[in-house]
């Protein structure tokens, strides 16, 4: 198990603030956040590159806060991969074993086992990694990292240079490898889909602080801060006031425009309190206009007019204006649904916000 307790790092132009989390054996924690948030600095600190000003790093029950990097049982796969062009593929994989003076016969046997698992056996005799594809280089670097059987593996956006299709394929493959080997890992990315595919838990880092660690559902539907909500949920945000609190069930909120919303219940929110709430564009549902009348003004169902639409390869982004207030709502849905429902600019729709898909926070947070 890896555990960080209140770790802080001060560099010349950056500060890593009060960071605490733990990763259980065999689990993968994905740290997600925008560029410059401090994700790589966090990994470097765990690896021993930066010395914490305060706090502790515990690995398998031992305090390694000030242990030299080479004495930590940590594997590190950097974004650059750091393959050696003058070494063969096999010698690249064996590099860590040689550096740690491990028995080479055993190391070669394990290298072949990992190569079989990673489907790169046919590459072992290559004289240099320079002729490998991007995906092949990633797997060679991963084999080198795993060969020495580290207690935890740190991965710094290893697939960021690959195109979307190959990246998704390798992320899914990496998930299978980690599950097979029961690997404990901390993985850094700015790609939200990558994070949700790979992580057993998700940590969200913003402005040098790990603001929330939780399951996929917790960080997506129950963000701890407005910054996290914005990162995951995008632009559909509203303000309102709680007019009813049904303990353990829901909050009823009224907006300045007169809309009524039923939101997930939160213990720290009280009747009369001002809140901000929202929903991811992918979670917004639409129905034909006549469904609005049959709903009888039910909470979370509003009328809207399609103002503009943009279509990508497999999705359509639709921008709506709510009828009473003109407030903009964005939704994203597969193109075939747009075609089936015959949605075009000027269409009038009923927009449905499912209660359990919405997030809510105190307005001041």
CA distances to 24, 146, 148, 326 from 65, in Å: 18, 22, 21, 55
240-249, 286-295, 315-324, 342-351: the lowest-pLDDT one:
286-295
226, 246, 279 - which closes a domain: 226
177, 202, 226 - which closes a domain: 226
Does residue 365 have a pLDDT over 80? no
Structural domain containing residue 178: 2-226
Residues 31-68: tens digit of each pLDDT? 999 999 999 999 999 999 999 999 999 999 999 999 99
298, 162: one domain: no
143, 14: one domain: yes
> How confident is the model at residue 232, as a pLDDT?
86
255, 221: one domain: no
pTM exceeding 0.85: yes
226, 260, 285 - which closes a domain: 226
> How confident is the model at residue 104, as a pLDDT?
92
| % pLDDT > 90, the chain | 81
User: What's the total number of domains in the chain?
Assistant: 2
Cβ proximity of 250 and 263 under 8 Å: yes
Does residue 295 have a pLDDT over 50? no
138, 275: one domain: no
Residues 150-189: tens digit of each pLDDT? 999 999 998 887 887 888 888 998 999 999 999 999 999 9
100, 219: one domain: yes
37, 174: one domain: yes
> How confident is the model at residue 290, as a pLDDT?
52
* H helix intervals, the chain: 39-47, 89-99, 104-117, 134-147, 164-181, 192-198, 216-221, 226-233, 290-295, 335-340
């Amino acid at each position: 198990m890896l555990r960080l307790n209140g770790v802080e790092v001060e560099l010349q132009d950056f500060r890593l603030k009060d960071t605490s989390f733990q990763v259980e054996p065999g689990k993968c924690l994905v740290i997600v956040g925008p560029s410059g948030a401090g994700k790589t600095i966090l990994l470097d600190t765990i690896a021993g590159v930066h010395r914490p000003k305060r706090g502790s790093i515990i690995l398998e029950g031992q305090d390694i806060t000030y242990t030299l990097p080479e004495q930590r049982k940590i594997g590190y796969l950097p974004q650059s991969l750091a393959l050696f062009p003058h070494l063969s593929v096999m010698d690249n994989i064996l590099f860590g074993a040689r550096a740690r003076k491990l028995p080479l016969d055993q190391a070669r046997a394990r290298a072949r086992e990992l190569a079989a698992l990673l489907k790169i056996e046919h590459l072992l005799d290559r004289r240099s990694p320079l002729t490998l594809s991007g995906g092949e280089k990633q797997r060679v670097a991963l084999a080198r990292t795993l060969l020495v059987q580290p207690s935890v593996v740190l991965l710094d956006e290893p697939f960021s240079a690959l195109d979307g299709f190959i990246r998704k394929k390798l992320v899914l493959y990496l998930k299978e490898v980690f599950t097979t080997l029961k690997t404990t890992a901390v993985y850094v990315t700015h790609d939200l889909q990558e994070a949700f595919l790979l992580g057993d838990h998700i940590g969200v880092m913003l402005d040098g602080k790990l603001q929330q660690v939780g399951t996929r559902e917790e960080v997506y539907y129950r963000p701890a801060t407005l910054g996290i909500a914005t990162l995951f949920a995008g632009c559909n945000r509203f303000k309102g006031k709680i007019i009813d609190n049904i303990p353990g069930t829901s909050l009823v909120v009224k907006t300045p425009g007169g809309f009524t919303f039923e939101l997930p219940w939160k213990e720290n929110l009280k009747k009369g309190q001002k809140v901000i709430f929202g929903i991811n564009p992918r979670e917004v549902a639409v129905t034909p206009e006549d469904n609005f009348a049959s709903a009888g003004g039910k909470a979370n169902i509003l009328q809207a007019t399609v103002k503009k639409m943009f279509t990508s390869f497999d999705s359509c982004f639709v921008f709506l204006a709510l009828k009473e207030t003109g407030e903009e709502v964005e939704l994203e849905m597969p193109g075939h649904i747009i075609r089936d429902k015959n949605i075009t600019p000027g269409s009038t729709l009923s927009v449905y916000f499912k209660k359990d898909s919405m997030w809510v926070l105190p307005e001041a947070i």
